[in-house]
Each structure stands twice: as structure tokens, then as C-alpha cells.
Homo-oligomer: A and B are copies of this chain.
Amino acid sequence: MRVIFIVLMLCSAFLSSSVAESRPLSLMPMPASVQMKTGQLVIDPAFTVGISGPSEARLRRSAELFLDNLRRQTGMTALDMKVADAAHARLVVRSQGSSKDVQELGEDESYSLDISSAGATLDAATPLGVMRGLQTFLQLVQTTSEGFAAPALAIQDKSRFPWRGLMIDVSRHFIPLEVLKRNLDGMAAVKLNVFHWHLSDNQGFRLESKKFTKLQELGSDGVYYTQAEVRDLIAYARDRGIRVVPEFDMPGHSTAWFVGYPELASGSGPYQIERKWGVFDPAMDPTEERTYKFLDGFIGEMAKLFPDRYFHIGGDEVNGKEWDANATIQAFMRAHGLKSNQDLQAYFNTRVQKIVSKHGKIMVGWDEILRPDLPKDIVVQSWRGQDSLAGAAKQGYRGLLSFGYYVDLNWPASRHYTVDPMSGAAANLSPEEKQRILGGEACMWSEYVSPENIDSRIWPRTGAIAERLWSAQDVTDVNSMYQRLQVISRWLDWFGLTHNSSYGPMLRRIAGSDDISALRTFTDVVEPVKDYTREEIAAVEATSSSPLNRVIDAARPESATARRFAELIDVLIAGRADSAAKQEVRAWLTRWRDNQSTLQGLETQSFLLKEIVPVSQDLSAVAASGLQALDYIDRGERAPDAWAQQQFALLQEAEKPKAQLLLMVAAPVQRIVEASSGLKASSPPK
């Protein structure tokens, strides 16, 4: 079935011209179908929500949460904005069915929302659909000339994929419960429905076990979640229509387990909590029965704590060195005809899968777990790509895509946005095989995040991934995505996310001063290096003790200023720039050229500014280069070859990472220089 789809942001006005005061809608993810109507529904302090048909506690809490959000968003604190009798409510909510005891994969999340000036109705098959529709409603509420209002319209909406997740690694840096909670609010806001909790890794075991207390006592530096906190978080997630899938990574990524329980390991120990990043040797011993006895006890305990049907055992990146070095293990492999470490891990997985299954759960693991001898009900999470995912589907396994959705790699939203689980080899699967591709997960690995900056690594870019997983496959307009993402980013402020609000305080700390205008001008046009370059070019190897207070930690993964500037340059080079656009380009370049002279004084008061001096000098030089190129263009004069070559050399230098930062305006300036000289630089602008 083909869904009707309207690119809302691209329409400069509504279909109905009578709601002149309304602005383009900024919905994310984009609904399956939107039909605009005439008029708007006023949202004032007398606004009420009513539940019609079957009610239940979760549905009532959804309505209360909706009102809390609406109060925050509008600043209307009135307690008479409340859940009221459906017969008189301004917004009437109906769910045909009731909630499952434990939220299930594939529950119907569709809804239809009808808004007129007289009132609104939200219909759904389940309370989940109601939750999704309520978030859409919140996104529709605008400040208008007549008051807060939602435009009259009819929306039919449903999810493309049933598994839309966000993974947060709380091992490498511990992330406190309240930070997770605000991120769950953010997830709900963009209709994500699975929180994948990466609870253990080499750098920390972050959960209380009552059965094996040394896991947290010796493996966590004292920072872990109690079981009461876990239950609290699960309830919090459930009220937002989010499943919680725990991950305990094994047999590798497990050093933290061995601090308290060295007998589980394949090496001789003793083990310490790992302080560095990377892949490490320690791995569980798959040949000892005591390993499975322990895991049976542990998984049994965890299966009771986490109600979700799915249980993630990790399974990634075992380098096998401890196995190679252990004679008993080698003998075991020979005795059992296990020819490789992959075979040994497959043996381990088969044993663990039985334990997971015995405790009523379905096993999930990363790519590496996939071996044909595992039962078909497991789920494979692919960090390797769509081809790997398609391969699994062909073999009858269900899968999730995370390749392309690693938000810690500092990619632009547009790059995540173009990654589709159904592309590549997956596009050629049969309809039945396609059904096995459940969706995907954004992944937040935490080498370089703290409670202070984690939100800025997740948001707003995860909104683009959420749209990819919820909206129809043909919702691919990048410009529309960016326009809406910008609005949604600010809207997420109401949910307590700090991706916007933490920027100023971080810059003030770096500057050692209240006056951050020059530092902000600078930081607005740089980005952290991408992928794993931060490790690769580090002067000193980072550890879990490394402060996360540098410009790279404050800089946004994607510079909106540089993107805007690059757009202006495109327009300018195409000869379509009006005088305002030309003026804006010159204003930016002038500001950047002069910025270093302002910033210059400051590094004497802050050690955190020293490393950016060369980048700031580059910015100044690049901007000067751009201004000169503009002068040539404006004079209708062709820039001399020698001058252009000099600029290309300068720009090439400026594009190299320094202080682990990328100067994002060098590439567009290179395009101006090219346009002014008619020459091409030897390396094309990025």
C-alpha cells in the first residue's frame, strides 16, 4: 500500500489559504498522510483531554504526560488543563484495545488525528498509537497571532518499522538515571520505541546484581544502577511506549565482570577495570561449565528484572587472544572439532542462547553471533551494513540496522538520513525476507560523552534517524529534513534535553570568562573529527580519566552555521544570490577574518583555548581568502592563477584537522576561490 505523502515544509502556505497566520508544519517524523483543512483549534488554559472508550492507567498517564508537556511548551501552568470527561473535552482520545502487560514488538502504533476548530479526536488501535498521536499533536501546537493553536487537519499515520531504537552505552562513561530519563522523553517525542541499554563492557559493569554482587562492587568504580532504579526506568519507559532491552556484552567486552569473577575469564588474571578505549583481550571461557552455570544464574536474575521479551548478549569483537593462549581451551577445541575461534564463539552462543531461551527470552546479538546453527528466532543487530543484514534475512534471521546510525561518529544528519535498512542487498529481498528486517537503532557509544554533552551527540540528529525508521521510504528530501530538524531541535528543549542549553556554559568554562562571543563565533564553524579519527590522531591516548571539557567536546557534531554558509555559497556561485545574500556572505567572512584578533587575548587566561589558536588563525586566513575572491568576482575580474594556487595551498592546510577539529567553512571558501579564478584545486572541496 502506497501512503499519501505531502512534503509539508516545502509548501510555503497551507492548502487552505484561510489560515494565513499559521506557519508551515514541522513534524518529525513525517506522518504517512496529512490533509490540511480550514481553521485552527485554540489551545488555552481551559484545554482538556478526555478518554473515550476503554481506559486504563497507562492511557491516563499518557494523557497526563501530554498535558505536562503542553504546559511546558506553552507556559500555561493552569491546573484546569486536565484530563476531563470525554463528552466535553477539547481533545478526545480513543484506543480500541488495551495495553499488553509487557509491550511487544510489532504492536500496532498507527493512529489517526483529526483537528478542527471545534475540537480534536485521536483514534488508535492501542494505547501506543495514542502516545504517538499525542506527540504529533504537541508538534502541531504553534504560537499564532490569535493564541496557541493547532491547525485544522487530518493525519493518518503508521510506522514503517516496528523496532526503532536508541542504544546508550553507560559503561565507558556512566550516564546517570535522570540523563537517561530525559533522553527517553526525547525518544518518545520522535516516536522511537526501544531503549537498548548497553550495561556492561570492559570499562564498567553498571548494574546491581543481587546474586553476583562483586559484578557491581568491584566492576563499576561504585557507579551503577540499583535494581530499584532499573525498575523505575522501565516503568518510565513503558509510560512513553518504549521497550527496554538490556545488553550484557559477552564473551568479549567483559573485563569488568572479571575483576570480581576472574574464574569466568580465559586468562589467568587478575583483572582491572579497563581505563582505555579499544578492543581488549579478556574473554569468557566458553569451555568451562562454571561459565554457563554463572550465566544461567545471572541471566535468570536479569530475565526477571527486565520484562522485555528480547535480551541482548552483545557478542561483538572477540579478538581470541586469550583463547589462543590457553592450552585447556585449545585442547577443548580440538576435542570438539572447533576449527576456529569463530567456531568456539558459535559454540558459546549456542549454549548462551539455550540459557536465554530457558529464561523465556529471545536472544539478540551483534553481527558476529550469526551462525547457521542458531535457532531462527534470534535477532541480529548489524553494525556491518545492509548486505550483512540482507544475508541474515535470507537465512531466515530477523535483523536490525545500526550501521550508519552511530551518532558518536559525528556524521551530519544528512548522512544518517540517507542510510535505509532496505537499501543495498536488502532492496532485492523477497517480501517475506523483508519482513525480517525489523528496523534499526541509533547507537551512542560513550568514549567521549559525559552527562553534560551526551544530549548534544544524540540530538537533534537522532530525529533524522527516527524519521528514517518511522516514515515512508520515499520521505527523503534532505532540505525538508533539515528545516524541520532545526525546529524540532528547539522544541526538544521543552523535554529537558540539554543539547542546546549546555553549549553556553561549556564555552564559558573554556573561555574562563563570561564573554564568549569570539569563542562562540569560532566554535560555531568547527566540528569534531569524524569516525575514529579522534583516537587515531590523539597526541596523548585518551582514557576514562580524560577531561571532556575541550572545544571538541563542546563543538556540535554538525555546524548549522557552516551548512547555512555553504548553501549561500552555492547560490552565489550559481549566480542566483541577491544583494542580501551577498551581504550575508561578506558579513560572515568579515566576522571570521577579524575573530582571531578578539580570541587572541583570551588564551592567556585559559589553557583550554591554547590548542585552538592555529585553527582560529586558519579561520582568519580562510575568511580573508574568501573576501579577496569575492572582490575579484564583484569587480568582474578573473583572479590570478598564482594567487589562486596560493589560496588552494592555504585552504588545503586549513582543511587538515587541528586540535581534533575540522574547520567546516574551508571547503565552501575553496569553491569561491575556484569560481573567482576558473581553476580547480587539486583536492576537490568536501
Give A residues with C-beta under 8 Å from B.
Answer: 21, 23, 45-46, 72-80, 142-147, 173-174, 221-223, 450-452, 486-487, 490, 493-494, 500-501, 504-506, 508-514, 544-549, 553, 603-608, 610
Q: Nearest-CB distance from A60 to chain B (Å)?
A: 12
Interchain CB contact under 8 A, B607 and A146:
yes
Q: Decide: B144 and A512 in contact? CB cutoff 8 A.
A: yes
Is A145 a contact of B509 with CB atoms below 8 Å?
Answer: no
* Additional A-B contact list (14), CB under 8 Å, known A486-B514, A487-B514, A490-B508: A21-B605, A75-B450, A75-B509, A75-B549, A75-B553, A77-B547, A78-B545, A79-B223, A79-B544, A143-B605, A143-B607, A145-B606, A147-B607, A490-B505
- Could you tell me the distance in whole angstroms from the C-beta of A22 to the nearest C-beta in chain B? 9
Using Cβ atoms and an 8 Å threshold, which residues of chain B touch A77? 173, 450-451, 547-548
Chain B residues with CB under 8 Å of A504's CB are 500-501
Q: Are A143 and B75 in touch, CB under 8 angstroms?
A: no
Determine the distance from Cα of A452 to Cα of B73 in the docked complex, in whole angstroms.
Answer: 10
Residues in B neighbouring A512, C-beta threshold 8 A: 23, 142-144
Q: Is B74 touching A509 in the complex (CB atoms < 8 A)? A: yes
- Whether the Cβ atoms of A509 and B548 lie closer than 8 Å is no
12 of the cross-chain contacts (CB-CB < 8 Å) are A21-B604, A23-B512, A74-B549, A75-B506, A76-B549, A77-B450, A77-B451, A77-B548, A78-B544, A79-B223, A490-B514, A493-B508
Structural contact, B78 and A547, CB atoms closer than 8 A: yes
Report how far A549 CA is from B72 CA in the complex, Å: 10
Q: What is the bound-complex CA distance between A47 and B548, given in angstroms? A: 16
Which residues of chain B come closer than 8 Å to A222, judged between CB atoms?
Answer: 79
Give the complex CA separation of A146 and B45 in angstroms.
54
Which residue on B lies nearest to A506, using beta carbons?
Answer: B75
| Chain B residue at smallest Cβ distance from A514 | B490
Tell me if A's interface is mostly helix, strand, loop or mixed.
Answer: loop
Chain B residues in 8 Å Cβ range of A505: 490, 493-494, 501
B605 touches A509 (CB 8 A): no
Contact of A143 among B21, B494, B510, B548 (CB under 8 A): B510
Q: What distance in Å separates the Cβ of A147 from its nearest Cβ neighbour in chain B?
A: 5
Do A143 and B608 form a contact, CB below 8 Å, given A79-B221, A223-B79, A509-B73? Answer: yes
A49, chain B: closest CB distance, angstroms: 15
Nearest chain B CB to A451 CB, angstrom units? 8
Given the complex of chains A and B, what is the CA–CA distance between A508 and B74 in angstroms?
11
Q: How far is the CA of A144 from the CA of B610 in the complex (A)?
A: 11
In the assembled complex, which residues on chain B have CB atoms less than 8 Å from the CB atom of A72?
A: 452
Q: How far is the CB of A506 from chain B (nearest CB, A)?
A: 7
Given contacts A45-B545, A547-B74, contact A145 B607 (CB under 8 A): yes
Contact B501 A143 (CB under 8 A): no
Decide yes or no: A605 and B145 within 8 Å by CB, A75-B450, A223-B79, A490-B514 being known contacts: yes
Q: Which residues of B contact A486 (CB under 8 A)?
A: 514
Contacts of A506 in B (CB 8 A): 75
Closest 5 A/B residue pairs (Cβ): A75-B549, A143-B512, A78-B545, A76-B547, A77-B450
Contacts of A610 in B (CB 8 A): 145
Structural contact, B546 and A45, CB atoms closer than 8 A: yes
When distances are taken between beta carbons in the complex, the residues of chain B under 8 Å from A494 are 505
Question: In the bound complex, what is the Cα–Cα distance between A232 and B547 (angstroms)?
Answer: 32
A173 surroundings in chain B (CB, below 8 A):
77
Chain B residues within 8 Å of A74, by CB:
509, 547, 549
Report how far A147 CA is from B609 CA in the complex, Å. Answer: 11
Q: Which residues of B contact A223 (CB under 8 A)?
A: 79
Report B-chain residues with C-beta under 8 Å of the C-beta of A73.
509
Nearest CB of B to A424, in Å: 37
Once the chains are docked, how many angstroms separate the CA of A142 from the CA of B508? 11
Q: Min CB distance, A184 to chain B, in Å?
A: 16
Q: Is the CB of A75 within 8 A of B23?
A: no
A23–B605 contact, CB under 8 A?
yes
CA distance A370 to B54 in the complex (A): 58
A551 to B544, CA, bound (A): 44
User: Closest chain B residue to A71 by CB distance?
Assistant: B450
CB distance from A209 to the nearest CB of B (A): 20
Cross-interface CB contact of A452 among B75, B79, B450, B511, cutoff 8 Å:
B75
* Minimal beta-carbon separation of A180 from chain B (angstroms): 15
Provide the residues of chain B in CB contact with A607, threshold 8 Å.
Answer: 143-147
Nearest Cβ distance between residue A223 and chain B, in whole angstroms? 7
Closest partner residue, chain B, to A606 (CB atom): B143
User: Are A509 and B21 interface neighbours, CB within 8 A?
Assistant: no
With a CB–CB cut-off of 8 A, which chain B residues contact A509?
Answer: 73-75, 143
A363 to chain B, nearest CB (A): 32
CA distance A78 to B608 in the complex (A): 17
